[in-house]
Structure 1
Amino acid sequence: MRTLVIALAAVAGLGVAAAPASAAGSNQFRLSAGSVVGYGTYDHMMSIPERPVPPFRITGTLVGRSLFRCAVIQVGQSGPADGLEWRTFGKHCGPGRSSFKVQTSYLFRGVKPPVRLCAGVTPAQAERGRQCDEYRPSAD
């Protein structure tokens, strides 16, 4: 009986210890457009006043399956007159993998910038944004 109680307490302790790890995984995203999948993390950075850094780092991987398709990964940024513009920071064409990484800042009114993956026959066509999947981070 004593062994059973100890085993149950250990399992309960593991469940409590594992809970923060799942909460930390909430900054992960997965996007799919055409035959390309993009996945990664959207991390909030901390900086010090002496060396400020943009508050967000987005890293991940693009995986292509088709020989004749391309994709671009873009981040939103504030444009003129509070409009949203898309800045490309990663491209991928054909089968295989490629990694991406970018640091970015808040949009106007303190909004976290969205990330989108767009597909096309060429990177230029993908940048036009007609076949896209978008990730919008949750507000704090």
Structure 2
Amino acid sequence: MRSLVHRALGGVVAAGIGLGVAAAPAAAATTTNFRLSTSGVVGHGTYAQMMSNPERPVPPFRITGTLVGHSPFRCAVIQVARSGPTDGVEWDTFGRQCGPGRTNVRVQTSYLFRGVKPPVRLCGGWTVAQAARGTQCDLFRPPAE
């Protein structure tokens, strides 16, 4: 009788551990640090390639970081590339900083066409709109596998 209780209890514990592992968030497989600088704003952070399971898929890349403004008259935007129409690249802005101060940024994104890891860029200008045009930028390309 006692061994039956122990086996049943062991089965319940094993099932709980299995459910806990299945419900856990996806862990980062590889993480790369980056640092970008342009016109009075510095951006730094991590570029993580995520692993997911079929039951709970997540976008394969998570980019987190901080923008630090040093110049009172300059603005910057941080952007990530995404696949556009006809195999072109479009840039999505996921953070901006004007003047002195700090801004935390975070985005999740997917592969570009042909399995390319999306690059990240920090662009500067006198206004956010001018920075978003992307004429004065520092680019981070993640390492190839």
TM-score scaled by structure 2? 0.78
1:99 aligns with one of 79, 95, 104: 104
Cα RMSD for the two superposed structures: 1.4
Q: Indicate the percent of aligned positions where both proteins have the same amino acid.
A: 72
Instruction: Give the partner amino acid of 2:44.
Output: Y
Deviation for aligned residue 1:38: 0.2
Gaps of 5+ in 1: 1-23
Gaps of 5+ in 2: 1-28
Larger radius of gyration: 2
1-structure distance, mates of 2:144, 2:122? 21
TM-score scaled by structure 1? 0.81
2:114 is paired with a residue whose SS is helix
Corresponding residue pairs, total? 117
- 1:1-140 matches, cutoff 5 A: 27-140=32-145
Q: Which runs of 4+ in 1 moved over 6 A?
A: none
Deviation for aligned residue 1:83: 0.5
Deviation for aligned residue 1:48: 1.1
1:137 is paired with a residue whose SS is coil
2:143 is paired with a residue whose SS is coil
